[in-house]
Chain A
């Protein structure tokens, strides 16, 4: 399969890239890891006239934490970087659980977290993780930078809130007030398949009590679902069998699964409940910072 014909530019600076996008307007597309875009080009679901390859932009491959624990993930940080990251293993249990189950190891060598958010596939794993963590996307355009909360970033299936001349330069996960706990569980038919069901749970614990909770669901609706009521059921109280059961039930209610070749709606809803229970019953607080 061949993509349809396009013009290709590989700028060396962010300013140049934004200029090219500005010029290209709606017919331009940013290429980062390409693990979703290139298949779309080949299937001709996307036929942009201009591809702006950002792989040569310097200084976007990072993921790093500020002193207060705020995490920044640059637009060229690959899934594989996050999978190998000691920083995530020690401070971000939900992200550390998700990184190894994104696509497959070869795709993870090139695909990026920020690109996955921009692609806005309802079955994308990172969207749920970043939503559960209350993260945001930083967009840079001709007029400067702005921060877009993950909850507002995805505007529909495969649609995001970026202007045509904006580039998502990084994702930001806010600092935790307490100790982080949580996880990500994904049911897939085989490695590399999209999620039949994915559940992201991100908790902050102060002493015994849950001070903040986020739960988001992958693959069980037309978009990533924030299970807000389920998260609220956990907040302000210790984790108990009762609160876990309540949250799991509310999360299952929030799911909007459809029966398809991956399973029945009933089965998927049941798996949401099971995954929420499983993640919460395994919670062991992770120290937010060594210091």
Chain B
């Protein structure tokens, strides 16, 4: 992961600290050289080219950059990329397979859970963490799990419906 600096011939040019990290993204093993100040969100978007993870507020409020780290929802703008060393990252790109949408993605489609779509990847990843831990959530559970994710379009009603739709679909899949 490269950050390009102006070369002013001073020591700053020769003392760029970099660390080698190994991590997993959506099941694929990766190795990267990162500067410690690089944020996880930047590693994902620029280093890996996975631009499904969005940067919204950049101040830990909006949750658009939510990814899973070892299965837990994390705001990737508020974690250093070096801290991903040895950990498993899941992004929205890991939800669908080549031929099939993930039930969460289907749910957002069926229940009109998005308008502009900017918050959607973060919503889906926060919802995934919830459904992995609690396959049969109540509406209140869903609202709790998504309370760190802001949407300025939908008013949230359809997002909650979308997650409940996905939960039902996942349960029916698990039962059959």
Measuring CB to CB, which residues of chain A are less than 8 angstroms from any residue of chain B? Answer: 1-8, 10, 31, 34-35, 38-39, 41-43, 51, 53, 55, 103-107, 109-110, 191-192
Contacts and interface: CB of A to CB of B under 8 A. Distances in A.
Contacts of A109: 72-74
B112 interface: no
B148 A107 contact: yes
B61 interface: yes
A23 to B, nearest CB: 15
A105 B147 contact: yes
Contacts of A191: 147-148
Interface residues of B, number: 33
A42 B58 contact: yes
Interface string B136-176: 00000000110111000000000000000000000000000
B37 A6 contact: yes
B25 interface: no
Contacts of A10: 82-83, 85
Nearest to B147: A191
Contacts of B24: none
Given A39-B59, A192-B61, A34 B148 contact: no
A41 B36 CA distance: 12
A165 to B, nearest CB: 21
Given A5-B17, A105-B144, A38 B74 contact: no
A51 B144 CA distance: 33
A105 B147 CA distance: 7
A53 B83 contact: yes
